[in-house]
């Protein structure tokens, strides 16, 4: 694997189950059991009730594009070589939203659309870290 | 809260000695130059200042550099809206007797990057974990993503966004201090380099070096000073997220609340206003703010700015200094929206034809900070 030069996330004690689930090519996010609502990013408590009554649940990895941009200018290492590319908010079927890239799509507003169904792709960027990317649903 | 309305006034404003490209001055000197000039304009001295407000640097650093030992200190730093929020905090502090003369300063070497603190994103920070890996350029990509949602929900077009950039450039042509003064057309905006769809280059603010400052004191004291006082009639502030990935709705933000709070305190209606200074980091920032402040219904921002309604001579004078899009945008522009509103309300441009908004009596100043994260709104009036 060529050297990975983009920012590599580093888990903390409250987010580690998310990153470990991705490494196993699953996606676990948290649910508030008081309200039965999912939330993301991971937190040490429910953002809806401030309660500890939260749990990690495996989710489908399916969702749809809620908002997006097509990046044409970014001098940062790694990204500069991939212009243009798509950054989007994906609304998961379970309700939470996650930022990611949409891959395997022509980076053009004629081909990327809000409401488009997408599914997760696990991208192993290092031996330790896997990113959740999304592609148009098959 | 209405006990705070009309109790205080802005009595001096200034930019740094030079704005635009200032490679020989560190950021803190831009604060200092603006502070010195704003005090001189008011007819006050450094020794009169007993309240100190700033963002971007620490008030301790600013006080040290200027030799000021305040008894009220406020470092509220929530992005470009901070200085509008400082109006609220300073007016409250003065009206309640905690201090008498408040100095609010800004300074950023946004272009030359002299004396600026680095803003790293540690890999275990929330942004480092949940945004940085995906290469969203900040802040432009964040605002672009939000704009995509408005286009989807309401049919807002790139041409409508471009109307804002074109009208704002027309105001810049009247301002000798503006950084970009060549006329542009809607076609020029649409054909400028794509930065982050749906934004082309001319949908985006400048990156400059500049400082700004204002001085605020009680109405009683203001009456004895040099300038026509500009009264603080209403203010509001708020925020609803920090990172764009956490924004609850991409077509609504804290301006909805801060605006209503400010209008209610001032007891004025939208139709009463002569002038609007609306933070324009990007064209979409303006369009969304106008809706959120209640100048038009939700989704009608595009129509509201069409046909150059906000240009010189238009029905709705807006961003009359040329804005962050064409005059000056060092990073946290809110200070400069305040300075312009004050100058318009004092009729400083009375000899400059259409640049002076005719008989300006009431203005709204709205600041947006972060990535549509924070909002500060103030209603100012000619005393």
Share of chain B above pLDDT 70, in %: 100
Kindly determine whether residue A8 and residue B195, on different chains, have CB atoms separated by under 8 Å: no
Residue pLDDT, tens place only, B150-191:
999 999 999 999 999 999 999 999 999 999 999 999 999 999
b/e map A69-79, b = 16+ CB within 10 Å: bbbbbbeeeeb
What is the chain B residue with the closest CA to A97?
Answer: B245
Kindly determine whether residue A99 and residue B134, on different chains, have CB atoms separated by under 8 Å: yes
Tokens of B260: 């209503």
Give the pLDDT mean for A71-76: 97
> Is the confidence metric ipTM above 0.90 for this complex?
yes
Instruction: Compute the nearest-CA separation of B201 from chain A (Å).
Output: 10
Tokens of A130: 């896997």
Residue pLDDT, tens place only, B54-89:
999 999 999 999 999 999 999 999 999 999 999 999
Give the pLDDT mean for A37-59: 98
Please name the member of A7, A68, A88 whose beta carbon is closest to the beta carbon of B133: A7
Q: Which residues of B touch A9 (CB under 8 A)?
A: 123-124, 128-130, 132-133
Q: pLDDT category, B337, cuts 50, 70, 90?
A: very high
Give the pLDDT mean for A91-116: 98
Kindly determine whether residue B137 and residue A74, on different chains, have CB atoms separated by under 8 Å: yes
pLDDT averaged over every residue in chain A = 97
b/e map A90-118, b = 16+ CB within 10 Å: bbbebebbbbbbbbebebebeebebebeb
pLDDT averaged over every residue in chain B = 97
Kindly determine whether residue B250 and residue A67, on different chains, have CB atoms separated by under 8 Å: yes
Tokens of B201: 């280059």
In order of start, what are the domains of chain B with their CATH numbers?
2-116+205-382 (3.40.47.10)
């Amino acid at each position: 694997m060529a050297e990975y030069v983009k920012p590599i996330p580093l888990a903390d004690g409250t987010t580690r189950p998310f990153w470990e689930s991705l490494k196993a090519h699953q996606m676990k996010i948290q649910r508030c059991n008081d309200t039965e609502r999912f939330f993301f990013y991971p937190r040490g408590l429910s953002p809806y009730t401030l309660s500890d009554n939260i749990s990690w649940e495996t989710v489908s990895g399916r969702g749809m594009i809620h908002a997006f941009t097509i990046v044409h200018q970014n001098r940062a290492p790694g990204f500069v070589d991939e212009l243009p590319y798509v950054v989007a908010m994906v609304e998961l079927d379970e309700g939470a939203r996650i930022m990611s890239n949409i891959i395997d799509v022509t980076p053009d507003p004629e081909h990327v659309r809000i409401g488009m169904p997408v599914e997760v792709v696990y991208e192993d960027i290092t031996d330790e870290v896997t990113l959740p990317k999304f592609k148009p649903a098959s | 809260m209405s006990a705070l309305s009309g109790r205080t006034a802005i009595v001096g404003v200034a930019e740094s000695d030079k704005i635009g490209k200032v490679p020989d001055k560190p950021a803190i000197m831009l604060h200092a130059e603006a502070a010195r000039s704003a005090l001189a304009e008011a007819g006050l001295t450094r020794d009169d200042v007993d309240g100190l407000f700033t963002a971007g640097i620490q008030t301790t650093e600013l006080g040290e550099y200027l030799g000021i030992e305040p008894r009220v200190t406020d470092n509220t730093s929530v992005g470009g809206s901070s200085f509008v929020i400082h109006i609220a905090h300073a007016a409250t502090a003065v009206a309640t007797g905690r201090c008498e003369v408040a100095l609010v300063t800004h300074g950023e070497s946004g272009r030359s990057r002299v004396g600026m603190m680095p803003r790293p994103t540690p890999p275990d920070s929330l942004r480092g974990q949940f945004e940085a890996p995906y290469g969203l350029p900040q802040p432009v990509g964040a605002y672009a993503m939000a704009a995509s949602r408005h286009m989807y929900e309401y049919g807002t077009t790139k041409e409508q966004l471009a109307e804002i950039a074109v009208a704002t450039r027309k105001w810049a042509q009247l301002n000798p201090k503006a950084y970009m003064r060549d006329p542009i057309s809607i076609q020029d905006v649409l054909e400028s380099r794509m930065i982050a769809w749906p934004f082309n280059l001319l949908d985006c603010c400048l990156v400059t070096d500049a400082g700004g400052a204002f001085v605020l004191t009680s109405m009683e004291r203001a009456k004895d000073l040099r300038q026509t006082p500009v009264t603080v009639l209403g203010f509001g502030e708020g925020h609803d997220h920090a990172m764009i990935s956490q924004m609850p709705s991409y077509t609504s933000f804290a301006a909805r609340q801060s605006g209503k709070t400010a209008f209610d305190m001032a007891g004025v209606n939208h139709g009463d206003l002569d002038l609007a200074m609306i933070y324009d980091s990007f064209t979409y920032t303006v369009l969304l703010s106008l809706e959120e402040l209640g100048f038009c219904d939700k989704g009608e921002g595009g129509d509201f700015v069409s046909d150059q309604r906000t240009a010189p001579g238009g029905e709705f004078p807006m961003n009359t200094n040329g804005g962050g899009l064409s005059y000056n945008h060092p990073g946290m522009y809110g200070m400069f929206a305040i300075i312009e509103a004050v100058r318009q309300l004092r009729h400083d441009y009375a000899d400059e034809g259409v640049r002076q908004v005719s008989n300006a009596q009431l203005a709204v100043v709205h600041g947006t900070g972060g990535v549509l994260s924070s909002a500060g709104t103030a209603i100012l009036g000619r005393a």
